[in-house]
Amino acid sequence: MTDRLNGKRIFLTGAAQGIGRAIAEACLKEGASLFLLDMDGDFLKRTVDELGAGPRVAFAAGDISDAAGVQAAMADAERQIGPVNGLINNAGINVFNTPLETTDEEWRRTFDVNLKGAWNCCKAALPGMIAAGGGSVLNIASTHSFTIIPHTFPYPLAKHALIGLTKALALEYAGQGVRVNALAPGYVETQKNVDWWNSFPDPVQARADTMALHPGGRIAQPSEIAMAAVFMISDECPFMNAATLIVDGGLSVLQHP
């Protein structure tokens, strides 16, 4: 522990597994207190038990698309860990389809979670940050926020919009000491990606094909995204605002033949 986040009280969504869990672990190691929110209450409870941080971690099961539920969770966070001065909007869902085959329910759920959910959390956290004279919001975006892969509709639309939300809030509340930034990972070795590789007839080849897309021949580990999140939510970058940090091993700037 280096106490880079000492004094930070962070509300983190989608914390039960993958990138969210890695961010939780990294923030704890750096001295933060956390309130963790995830839809899967049982999975989240196991994660909290494994993190083993005692009173520095509180948690609740909840759906970020439910604005009233998010407000209640934020109030619960303030009671348990104190006034929230850091928000990491990590929760999201993958909905991949072709445009004309996308159902109304797929469209609604994609935007309810990936965009409206982040806004619900911002709306709950920002008043307290403004009243306290400052805070930091980090939205976990994606390289889908800048590029379009065919047959991944409507997920990239919501992630493009998340960057717009980041910029709008950053400019609106900069004068009140609140920074709002985004972190855009590329491929990360999470269970979701492992499950995706396993859906192919040859999972080993599918994994190899993904690795081969990248200049370094590998994809990110969740811990590598987590340490970028620690930097961005910390006070080490006080003049970073309305910015998006891309962490994808160079994939998004590689022109494939």
Residue from 99, 82, 88, 107 nearest 25 by CA = 88
Other residues' Cβ atoms within 10 Å of the Cβ of residue 94:
13
For residue range 216-250, list pLDDT tens digits in order. 999 999 999 999 999 999 999 999 999 999 999 99
Query: How large a percentage of the chain has pLDDT more than 90?
Result: 95
Residue 66 pLDDT > 70, yes or no? yes
Tokens of 164: 């717009």
Alpha-carbon span 23 to 234, nearest angstrom:
13
Other residues' Cβ atoms within 10 Å of the Cβ of residue 203:
14
Domain extent listing, the chain: 9-187+223-248
Residue from 61, 25, 71 nearest 40 by CA = 61
The β-bridge partners of 178 are: 135
What CATH architecture does domain 9-187+223-248 belong to?
3-Layer(aba) Sandwich (3.40)
Other residues' Cβ atoms within 10 Å of the Cβ of residue 164:
11
Catalytic, 155? Answer: yes
> Over the chain, what is the mean pLDDT?
96
- Beta-strand ranges (E) seen in the chain are 9-13, 33-38, 57-61, 86-89, 96-97, 135-140, 153-154, 178-185, 244-247
Q: What is the mean pLDDT of residues 193-200?
A: 93
What is the DSSP code (8-state) at residue 83? S
Alpha-carbon span 13 to 26, nearest angstrom:
15
Catalytic residue among 59, 119, 155, 173: 155
